[in-house]
Amino acid sequence: MRAAGPFAAALLLAMAGGTVGQEVPAEVPQAPAPPALPSSTIETPKDAKPLAAAPILTVDQERLFADSEWGKRTQRILEETGGKIAAENERLAAQLSAEERALTQQRGTLDPAEFRKQAEAFDIRATEVRRERAKVVEDLNAWAEADRTAFYRAALPLMGEMMQERGAVAVLDRRTVFVSLDAIDLTQDLVTRLNKELGDGAGTVPLNGQPD
């Protein structure tokens, strides 16, 4: 019969995006931190004239999503739903651990065949619970990915409009640019327009078939 420890660990691992049934290592190796790089953005002097046009613009994709009303709604849902999932995982882990202890205590009084039958039934149920809880986490992660994809898909036409307004021919991810002027960064202005035109995107990608 499976021990309670690995079961609880499997649930926590599922919450962390691991594989159900995989043991949690005692210590997770940490990748070495990347070397610090100088800032890739040069601040425009305050007395400099505003750029009327620029052939290349930059945008911080991560900040674009995180700072938008859409991204904030997504993060709020992830935190709230993730918290509920974690609480339910802990409840189920405690419940199954208690059931396992009770069954173990009966081992000396039950007929061996009956004990084996109950132990196998418990293992089957525990495995099914792990599978179901992992599926819940997978569904939430899939929703978050689909919601984020929908955001960028909706943002592209508005980004194209701003490119034309500023006479640009391309928008690059600021993190991939070695050095650039902050004057060509589109992020904050684009966030403002996205919030006005798209709002928080509620209901675009329903969570578990329900409006969010």
pTM: 0.72
Give a yes or no: residue 28 inside a domain: no
Q: Is residue 187 part of a domain?
A: yes
Instruction: Please tell me the total count of domains within the chain.
Output: 1
Does the residue 188 lie in any domain? yes
In a domain, 27, yes or no: no
In a domain, 69, yes or no: yes
Give dist(CA 187, CA 35) in Å, integer: 26
In a domain, 41, yes or no: no
What pLDDT score does 8 carry?
A: 40
Q: 185 is in which domain, residue-wise?
A: 4-21+53-198
Two structure tokens written together for 148: 């984020």
**CA-to-CA dists, residue 131 to 7, 40, 135, 137, angstroms:** 11, 45, 6, 10
Does the residue 153 lie in any domain? yes
Whether 158 maps to a domain, the answer reads yes
DSSP for the chain, please give it. ---HHHHHHHHHHHHTT--TTPPPPSS---PPPPPP---SEEPPPTTSPPPS--SEEEE-HHHHHHHSHHHHHHHHHHHHHHHHHHHHHHHHHHHHHHHHHHHHHTTTTS-HHHHHHHHHHHHHHHHHHHHHHHHHHHHHHHHHHHHHHHHHHHHHHHHHHHHHHTT-SEEEEGGG-SSEEGGGB-HHHHHHHHHHHHTT-TTSS-BTTB--
Per-residue pLDDT of the chain (212 residues; tens, 9 = 90+): 444 444 444 444 444 444 434 443 445 456 566 555 554 676 766 666 556 567 899 999 999 999 999 999 999 999 999 999 999 999 999 999 999 999 999 988 889 999 999 999 999 999 999 999 999 999 999 999 999 999 999 999 999 999 999 999 999 998 888 888 888 899 999 999 999 999 999 999 998 755 45
